[in-house]
Amino acid sequence: MGKQYETVIGLEVHVELATRTKIFCSCSTEFGKAPNTHTCPVCTGMPGALPVLNKQVVEYAMAIGLATNCEITKVCKFDRKNYFYPDNPQNYQISQLYLPIARNGYVEIETGGTKKKVRIHEMHMEEDAGKLIHDEWDDTSLVDYNRSGVPLVEIVSEPDMRSADEVIAYLEKLRMIIQYLGASDCKLQEGSMRADVNLSVREAGTEEFGTRTEMKNLNSFKAIARAIEGERERQIELLEEGKAVVQETRRWDDNKESSYAMRSKEDAQDYRYFPEPDLVPIVISGEWIEQIRARQPELQTEKMERYKKEFDIPEYDAKIITSSKHMADIFEAASAVCGKPKKVSNWLMVETLRLLKDRGMEPEEISFSPENLAKLVNLTESRAINSSVAKEVFEKIFAQDIDPEIYVEEHGLKTVNDEGALEEVIRKVIADNPKAVKDYHSGKEKALGALVGQTMKAMKGKADPGLVNQKLREMI
Protein backbone atom coordinates (compact mmCIF):
# COMPACT_ATOMS: atom_id res chain seq x y z
CA MET A 1 0.00 0.00 0.00
CA GLY A 2 1.46 3.29 -1.11
CA LYS A 3 0.69 6.83 -0.07
CA GLN A 4 -2.74 8.02 0.96
CA TYR A 5 -4.26 10.74 -1.24
CA GLU A 6 -6.92 13.28 -0.56
CA THR A 7 -9.19 14.60 -3.33
CA VAL A 8 -9.91 18.33 -3.33
CA ILE A 9 -12.92 19.45 -5.34
CA GLY A 10 -14.48 22.81 -6.15
CA LEU A 11 -17.52 23.27 -8.38
CA GLU A 12 -18.71 25.80 -10.92
CA VAL A 13 -22.44 25.36 -11.29
CA HIS A 14 -24.44 27.04 -14.05
CA VAL A 15 -28.16 27.36 -13.46
CA GLU A 16 -30.65 28.56 -16.08
CA LEU A 17 -33.13 30.88 -14.43
CA ALA A 18 -36.86 30.33 -14.89
CA THR A 19 -37.67 33.81 -16.18
CA ARG A 20 -40.36 34.23 -18.81
CA THR A 21 -38.12 36.40 -20.99
CA LYS A 22 -34.40 36.57 -21.72
CA ILE A 23 -31.86 38.48 -19.65
CA PHE A 24 -31.37 41.43 -22.02
CA CYS A 25 -34.42 41.43 -24.32
CA SER A 26 -38.08 40.52 -24.22
CA CYS A 27 -37.81 37.30 -26.25
CA SER A 28 -39.36 34.20 -24.68
CA THR A 29 -37.10 31.68 -22.93
CA GLU A 30 -39.37 28.81 -23.91
CA PHE A 31 -37.50 25.61 -24.66
CA GLY A 32 -37.86 23.39 -27.72
CA LYS A 33 -39.31 25.81 -30.28
CA ALA A 34 -38.38 25.97 -33.99
CA PRO A 35 -34.83 27.36 -34.46
CA ASN A 36 -34.39 31.14 -34.35
CA THR A 37 -38.06 31.85 -33.63
CA HIS A 38 -37.42 33.38 -30.19
CA THR A 39 -34.92 35.96 -31.40
CA CYS A 40 -34.62 39.70 -31.96
CA PRO A 41 -31.85 42.18 -32.87
CA VAL A 42 -30.53 42.08 -29.29
CA CYS A 43 -30.09 38.32 -28.83
CA THR A 44 -28.78 37.79 -32.36
CA GLY A 45 -26.10 40.47 -31.99
CA MET A 46 -27.42 42.79 -34.70
CA PRO A 47 -25.38 45.97 -35.16
CA GLY A 48 -26.69 48.83 -33.03
CA ALA A 49 -28.82 46.66 -30.72
CA LEU A 50 -28.45 47.28 -26.99
CA PRO A 51 -29.08 45.14 -23.90
CA VAL A 52 -31.60 46.07 -21.20
CA LEU A 53 -31.41 44.06 -17.97
CA ASN A 54 -34.38 41.93 -16.91
CA LYS A 55 -35.15 42.84 -13.27
CA GLN A 56 -36.44 39.35 -12.52
CA VAL A 57 -32.96 37.96 -13.18
CA VAL A 58 -31.51 40.20 -10.47
CA GLU A 59 -34.28 39.21 -8.05
CA TYR A 60 -33.80 35.48 -8.64
CA ALA A 61 -30.04 35.90 -8.23
CA MET A 62 -30.58 37.85 -5.01
CA ALA A 63 -32.96 35.16 -3.73
CA ILE A 64 -30.41 32.41 -4.44
CA GLY A 65 -27.65 34.52 -2.88
CA LEU A 66 -29.67 35.08 0.28
CA ALA A 67 -30.70 31.42 0.52
CA THR A 68 -27.04 30.37 0.27
CA ASN A 69 -25.94 32.83 2.96
CA CYS A 70 -24.09 35.14 0.54
CA GLU A 71 -23.39 38.84 0.90
CA ILE A 72 -25.27 40.76 -1.79
CA THR A 73 -23.06 43.27 -3.64
CA LYS A 74 -24.65 46.69 -3.19
CA VAL A 75 -23.31 48.11 -6.46
CA CYS A 76 -22.75 45.34 -8.96
CA LYS A 77 -21.76 45.61 -12.60
CA PHE A 78 -21.68 43.61 -15.79
CA ASP A 79 -18.51 42.98 -17.77
CA ARG A 80 -17.82 41.76 -21.26
CA LYS A 81 -16.00 38.48 -21.78
CA ASN A 82 -14.56 38.54 -25.28
CA TYR A 83 -14.14 35.37 -27.34
CA PHE A 84 -14.98 34.35 -30.88
CA TYR A 85 -17.43 31.50 -31.38
CA PRO A 86 -20.48 31.36 -33.64
CA ASP A 87 -22.90 30.41 -30.85
CA ASN A 88 -22.08 33.76 -29.29
CA PRO A 89 -23.58 36.29 -31.73
CA GLN A 90 -21.74 39.37 -30.44
CA ASN A 91 -18.51 37.45 -29.95
CA TYR A 92 -18.60 38.61 -26.36
CA GLN A 93 -20.64 37.31 -23.47
CA ILE A 94 -22.15 39.74 -21.00
CA SER A 95 -21.13 38.36 -17.62
CA GLN A 96 -19.81 39.61 -14.28
CA LEU A 97 -16.17 39.50 -13.27
CA TYR A 98 -15.21 42.46 -11.12
CA LEU A 99 -18.36 43.01 -9.07
CA PRO A 100 -20.55 39.86 -9.07
CA ILE A 101 -23.97 40.05 -7.45
CA ALA A 102 -23.22 37.75 -4.48
CA ARG A 103 -20.14 36.61 -2.57
CA ASN A 104 -18.94 34.72 0.49
CA GLY A 105 -21.79 32.32 1.15
CA TYR A 106 -22.12 28.69 2.15
CA VAL A 107 -24.51 25.76 2.17
CA GLU A 108 -24.62 22.96 4.70
CA ILE A 109 -24.46 19.40 3.42
CA GLU A 110 -24.82 16.04 5.14
CA THR A 111 -23.06 12.84 4.11
CA GLY A 112 -23.06 9.64 6.12
CA GLY A 113 -24.55 11.43 9.10
CA THR A 114 -21.80 14.10 9.14
CA LYS A 115 -22.66 17.74 8.55
CA LYS A 116 -20.30 20.10 6.74
CA LYS A 117 -20.27 23.60 5.29
CA VAL A 118 -19.31 24.10 1.65
CA ARG A 119 -18.37 27.73 1.10
CA ILE A 120 -19.50 29.69 -1.94
CA HIS A 121 -16.86 31.99 -3.34
CA GLU A 122 -19.17 34.00 -5.56
CA MET A 123 -22.22 33.93 -7.77
CA HIS A 124 -22.61 35.98 -10.94
CA MET A 125 -25.27 36.60 -13.59
CA GLU A 126 -24.62 36.07 -17.29
CA GLU A 127 -26.25 35.25 -20.63
CA ASP A 128 -26.37 31.80 -22.20
CA ALA A 129 -25.08 31.20 -25.75
CA GLY A 130 -26.97 29.84 -28.75
CA LYS A 131 -26.75 26.24 -29.92
CA LEU A 132 -24.66 24.95 -32.80
CA ILE A 133 -25.97 22.12 -34.89
CA HIS A 134 -23.31 20.34 -36.93
CA ASP A 135 -24.44 18.71 -40.11
CA GLU A 136 -21.78 16.03 -40.63
CA TRP A 137 -23.32 14.96 -43.93
CA ASP A 138 -23.20 18.44 -45.42
CA ASP A 139 -20.05 19.48 -43.52
CA THR A 140 -21.74 22.68 -42.37
CA SER A 141 -22.80 24.09 -39.05
CA LEU A 142 -26.02 25.89 -38.29
CA VAL A 143 -26.77 28.05 -35.31
CA ASP A 144 -29.96 28.44 -33.31
CA TYR A 145 -30.11 31.60 -31.20
CA ASN A 146 -33.27 30.68 -29.25
CA ARG A 147 -31.13 29.97 -26.17
CA SER A 148 -28.91 33.01 -26.76
CA GLY A 149 -29.61 35.42 -23.92
CA VAL A 150 -31.35 32.97 -21.61
CA PRO A 151 -30.34 34.06 -18.10
CA LEU A 152 -27.85 32.05 -16.08
CA VAL A 153 -26.25 32.31 -12.71
CA GLU A 154 -22.88 30.70 -12.12
CA ILE A 155 -22.23 29.59 -8.56
CA VAL A 156 -18.55 29.10 -7.78
CA SER A 157 -17.72 27.10 -4.66
CA GLU A 158 -14.51 27.09 -2.66
CA PRO A 159 -12.46 23.84 -2.98
CA ASP A 160 -14.20 22.43 0.09
CA MET A 161 -15.38 19.03 -1.12
CA ARG A 162 -13.38 15.85 -0.67
CA SER A 163 -15.44 13.10 -2.33
CA ALA A 164 -18.04 12.39 -4.99
CA ASP A 165 -20.60 11.91 -2.19
CA GLU A 166 -19.97 15.42 -0.93
CA VAL A 167 -20.20 16.80 -4.45
CA ILE A 168 -23.54 15.08 -5.04
CA ALA A 169 -24.80 16.24 -1.64
CA TYR A 170 -23.76 19.82 -2.47
CA LEU A 171 -25.44 19.70 -5.88
CA GLU A 172 -28.60 18.18 -4.43
CA LYS A 173 -28.67 20.87 -1.78
CA LEU A 174 -28.22 23.67 -4.33
CA ARG A 175 -30.84 22.13 -6.56
CA MET A 176 -33.30 21.83 -3.70
CA ILE A 177 -32.77 25.45 -2.60
CA ILE A 178 -33.14 26.80 -6.12
CA GLN A 179 -36.20 24.67 -6.84
CA TYR A 180 -37.79 25.81 -3.61
CA LEU A 181 -37.15 29.41 -4.65
CA GLY A 182 -38.78 28.70 -7.98
CA ALA A 183 -35.70 30.20 -9.64
CA SER A 184 -35.02 27.19 -11.87
CA ASP A 185 -36.15 23.63 -12.47
CA CYS A 186 -32.47 22.56 -12.28
CA LYS A 187 -32.65 19.61 -14.69
CA LEU A 188 -29.17 18.27 -15.37
CA GLN A 189 -30.25 16.19 -18.35
CA GLU A 190 -31.87 19.18 -20.06
CA GLY A 191 -28.97 21.43 -19.22
CA SER A 192 -30.84 23.83 -16.96
CA MET A 193 -28.24 22.90 -14.32
CA ARG A 194 -24.65 22.25 -15.42
CA ALA A 195 -21.63 21.53 -13.26
CA ASP A 196 -17.93 21.81 -14.04
CA VAL A 197 -15.70 19.94 -11.59
CA ASN A 198 -12.32 21.37 -10.53
CA LEU A 199 -10.32 18.56 -9.01
CA SER A 200 -6.84 18.05 -7.61
CA VAL A 201 -5.26 15.44 -5.37
CA ARG A 202 -2.69 15.85 -2.63
CA GLU A 203 -0.97 13.58 -0.21
CA ALA A 204 -3.10 13.15 2.88
CA GLY A 205 -2.06 15.55 5.60
CA THR A 206 -0.45 18.17 3.34
CA GLU A 207 -1.71 21.74 3.29
CA GLU A 208 -0.77 22.76 -0.23
CA PHE A 209 -3.17 22.13 -3.10
CA GLY A 210 -2.11 19.97 -6.03
CA THR A 211 -2.47 21.08 -9.65
CA ARG A 212 -6.11 21.02 -10.64
CA THR A 213 -7.96 20.13 -13.79
CA GLU A 214 -11.40 21.27 -14.86
CA MET A 215 -13.87 18.64 -16.07
CA LYS A 216 -16.71 19.61 -18.39
CA ASN A 217 -19.71 17.87 -20.00
CA LEU A 218 -21.19 16.21 -16.95
CA ASN A 219 -24.89 15.58 -17.55
CA SER A 220 -26.00 13.53 -14.56
CA PHE A 221 -25.11 12.85 -10.95
CA LYS A 222 -23.90 9.43 -12.02
CA ALA A 223 -21.61 10.93 -14.65
CA ILE A 224 -20.27 13.38 -12.07
CA ALA A 225 -19.52 10.57 -9.61
CA ARG A 226 -17.81 8.47 -12.30
CA ALA A 227 -15.82 11.45 -13.62
CA ILE A 228 -14.58 12.31 -10.13
CA GLU A 229 -13.47 8.74 -9.52
CA GLY A 230 -11.82 8.52 -12.96
CA GLU A 231 -10.00 11.83 -12.62
CA ARG A 232 -8.84 11.04 -9.09
CA GLU A 233 -7.38 7.74 -10.33
CA ARG A 234 -5.75 9.41 -13.33
CA GLN A 235 -4.05 12.11 -11.26
CA ILE A 236 -2.85 9.66 -8.58
CA GLU A 237 -1.43 7.41 -11.26
CA LEU A 238 0.50 10.35 -12.76
CA LEU A 239 1.89 11.33 -9.36
CA GLU A 240 2.81 7.74 -8.53
CA GLU A 241 4.74 7.56 -11.80
CA GLY A 242 6.52 10.75 -10.81
CA LYS A 243 4.78 12.75 -13.54
CA ALA A 244 3.16 16.14 -13.12
CA VAL A 245 -0.55 16.88 -13.43
CA VAL A 246 -1.08 19.45 -16.18
CA GLN A 247 -3.48 22.29 -15.47
CA GLU A 248 -6.03 21.87 -18.23
CA THR A 249 -9.68 21.64 -19.16
CA ARG A 250 -10.86 18.08 -19.84
CA ARG A 251 -14.02 16.75 -21.38
CA TRP A 252 -15.74 13.74 -19.84
CA ASP A 253 -17.05 11.05 -22.17
CA ASP A 254 -19.56 9.13 -20.10
CA ASN A 255 -19.92 6.34 -22.67
CA LYS A 256 -16.21 5.60 -22.60
CA GLU A 257 -15.98 6.48 -18.91
CA SER A 258 -12.84 8.47 -19.60
CA SER A 259 -11.84 12.07 -20.27
CA TYR A 260 -9.60 13.83 -22.76
CA ALA A 261 -7.81 17.18 -22.65
CA MET A 262 -9.60 20.06 -24.41
CA ARG A 263 -7.07 22.83 -23.78
CA SER A 264 -4.18 23.45 -21.43
CA LYS A 265 -3.49 26.54 -19.38
CA GLU A 266 -0.99 27.69 -22.00
CA ASP A 267 -3.74 27.78 -24.62
CA ALA A 268 -6.10 29.51 -22.20
CA GLN A 269 -7.79 32.41 -23.91
CA ASP A 270 -7.37 35.97 -22.78
CA TYR A 271 -10.98 37.07 -22.43
CA ARG A 272 -10.06 40.78 -22.21
CA TYR A 273 -12.78 41.46 -19.65
CA PHE A 274 -13.85 45.08 -19.29
CA PRO A 275 -16.91 46.83 -17.86
CA GLU A 276 -19.96 46.54 -20.16
CA PRO A 277 -20.50 50.14 -21.32
CA ASP A 278 -24.04 49.49 -22.57
CA LEU A 279 -25.38 48.73 -19.08
CA VAL A 280 -25.41 50.92 -16.02
CA PRO A 281 -24.34 49.62 -12.58
CA ILE A 282 -27.09 47.91 -10.56
CA VAL A 283 -27.56 49.63 -7.25
CA ILE A 284 -29.12 47.26 -4.72
CA SER A 285 -30.58 49.02 -1.73
CA GLY A 286 -30.95 47.49 1.71
CA GLU A 287 -34.67 47.95 1.26
CA TRP A 288 -34.68 45.89 -1.92
CA ILE A 289 -32.72 43.11 -0.22
CA GLU A 290 -35.25 43.10 2.63
CA GLN A 291 -38.13 42.91 0.15
CA ILE A 292 -36.57 39.85 -1.45
CA ARG A 293 -35.82 38.33 1.94
CA ALA A 294 -39.43 38.87 3.04
CA ARG A 295 -40.66 37.25 -0.15
CA GLN A 296 -38.42 34.16 0.24
CA PRO A 297 -40.63 31.08 0.30
CA GLU A 298 -40.40 28.51 3.08
CA LEU A 299 -37.29 26.42 2.44
CA GLN A 300 -36.89 22.73 3.16
CA THR A 301 -35.72 22.84 6.78
CA GLU A 302 -38.57 25.11 7.80
CA LYS A 303 -41.08 23.09 5.87
CA MET A 304 -39.88 19.86 7.47
CA GLU A 305 -40.28 21.31 10.96
CA ARG A 306 -43.74 22.55 10.11
CA TYR A 307 -44.83 19.14 8.79
CA LYS A 308 -43.70 17.50 12.01
CA LYS A 309 -45.59 19.99 14.14
CA GLU A 310 -48.64 20.79 12.08
CA PHE A 311 -49.36 17.36 10.60
CA ASP A 312 -47.68 15.09 13.13
CA ILE A 313 -45.60 13.45 10.39
CA PRO A 314 -42.51 11.50 11.54
CA GLU A 315 -39.18 13.26 10.95
CA TYR A 316 -37.97 10.69 8.44
CA ASP A 317 -41.13 10.98 6.34
CA ALA A 318 -41.14 14.76 6.54
CA LYS A 319 -37.55 14.84 5.32
CA ILE A 320 -38.22 12.54 2.37
CA ILE A 321 -41.33 14.42 1.29
CA THR A 322 -39.69 17.85 1.56
CA SER A 323 -36.52 16.74 -0.23
CA SER A 324 -38.43 17.48 -3.41
CA LYS A 325 -40.32 20.73 -3.65
CA HIS A 326 -42.62 19.10 -6.15
CA MET A 327 -43.50 16.23 -3.81
CA ALA A 328 -44.02 18.64 -0.92
CA ASP A 329 -46.35 20.72 -3.08
CA ILE A 330 -48.39 17.60 -3.93
CA PHE A 331 -48.48 16.62 -0.28
CA GLU A 332 -49.81 19.98 0.84
CA ALA A 333 -52.33 20.36 -1.93
CA ALA A 334 -53.71 16.82 -1.52
CA SER A 335 -53.87 17.20 2.27
CA ALA A 336 -55.75 20.45 1.91
CA VAL A 337 -58.35 18.76 -0.30
CA CYS A 338 -58.96 15.60 1.76
CA GLY A 339 -57.93 16.85 5.21
CA LYS A 340 -55.98 13.65 5.95
CA PRO A 341 -52.28 14.52 5.78
CA LYS A 342 -51.08 11.30 7.38
CA LYS A 343 -52.90 9.20 4.80
CA VAL A 344 -51.52 11.35 1.98
CA SER A 345 -48.05 11.00 3.47
CA ASN A 346 -48.48 7.20 3.49
CA TRP A 347 -49.34 7.11 -0.19
CA LEU A 348 -46.27 9.21 -1.01
CA MET A 349 -43.89 7.33 1.29
CA VAL A 350 -44.91 3.83 0.29
CA GLU A 351 -46.58 3.47 -3.08
CA THR A 352 -45.19 6.58 -4.75
CA LEU A 353 -41.58 5.93 -3.75
CA ARG A 354 -41.94 2.29 -4.78
CA LEU A 355 -43.23 3.19 -8.23
CA LEU A 356 -40.58 5.90 -8.69
CA LYS A 357 -37.87 3.41 -7.82
CA ASP A 358 -39.34 0.70 -10.08
CA ARG A 359 -39.40 3.10 -13.00
CA GLY A 360 -36.09 4.85 -12.32
CA MET A 361 -37.81 8.22 -11.98
CA GLU A 362 -37.03 11.36 -9.98
CA PRO A 363 -39.65 12.86 -7.64
CA GLU A 364 -39.73 15.89 -9.99
CA GLU A 365 -41.23 13.63 -12.63
CA ILE A 366 -44.36 12.84 -10.62
CA SER A 367 -47.14 13.86 -12.93
CA PHE A 368 -50.39 13.10 -11.07
CA SER A 369 -52.56 15.81 -9.61
CA PRO A 370 -52.97 16.24 -5.85
CA GLU A 371 -56.76 16.27 -6.35
CA ASN A 372 -56.79 12.71 -7.66
CA LEU A 373 -54.64 11.48 -4.79
CA ALA A 374 -56.98 13.25 -2.35
CA LYS A 375 -59.99 11.57 -3.96
CA LEU A 376 -58.31 8.21 -3.60
CA VAL A 377 -57.68 8.84 0.09
CA ASN A 378 -61.35 9.72 0.53
CA LEU A 379 -62.48 6.60 -1.33
CA THR A 380 -60.41 4.36 0.94
CA GLU A 381 -61.27 6.18 4.12
CA SER A 382 -64.99 5.95 3.45
CA ARG A 383 -64.44 2.27 2.75
CA ALA A 384 -65.89 2.76 -0.69
CA ILE A 385 -62.99 0.66 -1.98
CA ASN A 386 -60.79 -1.77 -0.17
CA SER A 387 -57.01 -1.50 0.07
CA SER A 388 -56.09 -3.89 -2.70
CA VAL A 389 -58.42 -2.11 -5.11
CA ALA A 390 -56.94 1.21 -3.90
CA LYS A 391 -53.40 0.08 -4.80
CA GLU A 392 -54.53 -0.93 -8.25
CA VAL A 393 -56.29 2.41 -8.73
CA PHE A 394 -53.24 4.32 -7.47
CA GLU A 395 -51.05 2.74 -10.13
CA LYS A 396 -53.45 4.13 -12.70
CA ILE A 397 -53.31 7.53 -11.06
CA PHE A 398 -49.51 7.43 -10.99
CA ALA A 399 -49.26 6.45 -14.63
CA GLN A 400 -52.11 8.38 -16.22
CA ASP A 401 -53.47 10.75 -13.58
CA ILE A 402 -56.93 9.24 -13.89
CA ASP A 403 -59.84 10.45 -11.75
CA PRO A 404 -60.27 7.59 -9.23
CA GLU A 405 -63.99 8.26 -8.66
CA ILE A 406 -64.79 7.89 -12.32
CA TYR A 407 -62.42 4.96 -12.74
CA VAL A 408 -63.88 3.03 -9.78
CA GLU A 409 -67.38 3.70 -11.01
CA GLU A 410 -66.67 2.69 -14.60
CA HIS A 411 -64.86 -0.48 -13.61
CA GLY A 412 -67.38 -1.41 -10.90
CA LEU A 413 -64.72 -1.59 -8.22
CA LYS A 414 -66.79 -0.16 -5.41
CA THR A 415 -67.09 -2.24 -2.28
CA VAL A 416 -70.55 -3.71 -2.04
CA ASN A 417 -72.04 -2.38 1.16
CA ASP A 418 -75.42 -3.93 0.58
CA GLU A 419 -75.59 -6.15 3.68
CA GLY A 420 -78.48 -8.16 2.30
CA ALA A 421 -76.48 -9.12 -0.77
CA LEU A 422 -73.46 -9.94 1.33
CA GLU A 423 -75.50 -12.09 3.71
CA GLU A 424 -76.93 -13.96 0.78
CA VAL A 425 -73.46 -14.74 -0.53
CA ILE A 426 -72.28 -15.79 2.93
CA ARG A 427 -75.25 -18.12 3.33
CA LYS A 428 -74.33 -19.72 0.05
CA VAL A 429 -70.64 -20.00 1.03
CA ILE A 430 -71.61 -21.64 4.35
CA ALA A 431 -73.90 -24.05 2.55
CA ASP A 432 -71.25 -24.92 -0.05
CA ASN A 433 -68.39 -25.45 2.45
CA PRO A 434 -69.69 -27.76 5.20
CA LYS A 435 -66.20 -29.06 5.94
CA ALA A 436 -64.73 -25.65 6.66
CA VAL A 437 -67.76 -24.79 8.80
CA LYS A 438 -67.29 -27.97 10.72
CA ASP A 439 -63.57 -27.28 11.21
CA TYR A 440 -64.34 -23.79 12.46
CA HIS A 441 -66.84 -25.09 14.95
CA SER A 442 -64.28 -27.63 16.18
CA GLY A 443 -62.00 -24.67 17.04
CA LYS A 444 -59.92 -24.34 13.87
CA GLU A 445 -59.75 -20.56 13.63
CA LYS A 446 -57.90 -20.88 10.30
CA ALA A 447 -60.93 -22.27 8.61
CA LEU A 448 -62.60 -18.90 8.88
CA GLY A 449 -59.88 -17.41 6.68
CA ALA A 450 -60.74 -19.82 3.91
CA LEU A 451 -64.41 -18.86 4.18
CA VAL A 452 -63.52 -15.14 4.03
CA GLY A 453 -61.49 -15.86 0.92
CA GLN A 454 -64.39 -17.73 -0.66
CA THR A 455 -66.73 -14.87 0.14
CA MET A 456 -64.36 -12.22 -1.25
CA LYS A 457 -63.97 -14.29 -4.40
CA ALA A 458 -67.69 -14.57 -4.79
CA MET A 459 -67.95 -10.79 -4.24
CA LYS A 460 -65.26 -10.25 -6.94
CA GLY A 461 -63.07 -8.49 -4.36
CA LYS A 462 -65.53 -5.66 -3.89
CA ALA A 463 -66.43 -6.42 -0.27
CA ASP A 464 -64.91 -4.93 2.84
CA PRO A 465 -62.86 -7.83 4.31
CA GLY A 466 -63.50 -6.64 7.90
CA LEU A 467 -67.22 -6.66 7.39
CA VAL A 468 -67.09 -10.11 5.76
CA ASN A 469 -65.17 -11.43 8.73
CA GLN A 470 -67.70 -10.02 11.19
CA LYS A 471 -70.75 -11.29 9.27
CA LEU A 472 -69.28 -14.77 8.91
CA ARG A 473 -68.73 -15.07 12.66
CA GLU A 474 -72.31 -13.99 13.26
CA MET A 475 -73.86 -16.27 10.69
CA ILE A 476 -71.82 -19.41 10.89
Partner 1 sequence: MDITSLTAVELGKKIKAKELSVADAVKASLDQIDRVEKDVHSFVTIDREGAFRRADEVQKQIDSGSLDGPLAGVPVAVKDNMCTKGMLTTCSSKILENFKPTYTAEAVRNLEKAGAVIIGKTNMDEFAMGSTTETSYYGVTRNPWNLDHVPGGSSGGSCAAVAAEECPYSLGSDTGGSIRQPSSFCGVVGIKPTYGTVSRYGLIAYGSSLDQIGPIAKDVTDCAAVLTVIASHDPKDSTSIDRKRYDFTSALVNDVTGMRIGIPKDYFTEGLDAEVKEKILAAVRVLEERGAVVEEFDLSLVQYAIPAYYVIASAEASSNLSRFDGVKYGFRTEDYEGLHNMYKKTRSEGFGAEVKRRIILGSFVLSSGYYDAYYLKALRTKALIKQAFDKAFARYDVIAAPASPTTALELGHSLSDPMKMYLGDIYTVSVNLAGLPGISIPVGTDSKGLPIGMQLIGDCFEENKIIRAAYTLEQTRTYERPAFVKHLAEMKGNLSGGQGRRREGVQASFDTIHLEGGR
Summarize as ranges the residues that interact with partner 1 (CB under 8 A).
41, 44-53, 80, 82, 84, 86, 89-92, 141, 143, 270, 272-274, 277-280
Closer CB to partner 1, 282 or 385, in the complex: 282
Three-state DSSP state, 82: strand
Q: How far is the CB of 85 from partner 1 (least distance, A)?
A: 8
What's 351's DSSP letter? I
Q: E-strand spans in 146-222?
A: 151-157, 193-203, 213-216
Report, in Å, the least distance between residue 270 CB and partner 1.
5
Supply the minimum distance, in Å, between the C-beta of residue 55 and partner 1.
12
Smallest separation (angstroms) from partner 1 to the CB of 172? 36
DSSP letter, residue 16: E
Question: Helix (H, G, I), strand (E, B), or coil: what is residue 418?
Answer: coil
Q: Which residues are paired to 13 by β-bridges?
A: 155, 195
Q: Given the complex with partner 1, which of 19 and 44 has the nearer CB atom?
A: 44
Rounded to whole angstroms, what are the CA distances from 423 to 413, 465, 468?
19, 13, 9
174 close to 107: Cβ distance less than 8 angstroms? yes
Q: What is the DSSP string of 408-461?
A: HHHTT-S----HHHHHHHHHHHHHH-HHHHHHHHTT-THHHHHHHHHHHHHTTT
Strand partners, 14: 154, 194
Pairing between strand 248-253 and 213-216? parallel
Collapsed DSSP state (helix, strand, coil) of residue 89: coil
Contacts of 309 (CB under 8 A, 6+ apart): none
Nearer to partner 1, 90 or 198 (CB): 90
Q: Which is nearer to partner 1, 24 or 347 (CB)?
A: 24
The CB-side HSE value for 341 (13 A sphere, CA atoms) comes to 18
Smallest distance from partner 1 to CB 271, Å: 8
CB of 121 to partner 1, least distance (A): 20
Residues 182 and 212 sit within 8 Å (Cβ to Cβ): no
Say what the alpha-carbon torsion angle 64, 65, 67, 70 is, to the nearest 10 degrees.
160
Rounded least distance, CB 91 to partner 1, Å: 4
Task: Pick between residue 50 and residue 336 the one whose CB is nearest to partner 1.
Answer: 50
Of residues 58 and 174, the one with the C-beta less far from partner 1: 58
**Smallest separation, CB 64 to partner 1 (Å):** 23
Nearer to partner 1, 136 or 208 (CB): 136
Instruction: Write the single-letter amino acid at 265.
Output: K
The helix/strand/coil state of 247 is coil
> Per residue in 61-73, is it b (16+ CB within 10 Å) or e — as a string?
bbbbbbbbebebb
Shortest distance (Å) from residue 89 CB to partner 1: 6
Residue 237 or 278 with smaller CB distance to partner 1: 278
What is the four-CA torsion angle of 385, 387, 389, 393, rounded to 10 degrees? Answer: 100
**Which of 35, 465 has the CB closer to partner 1?**
35
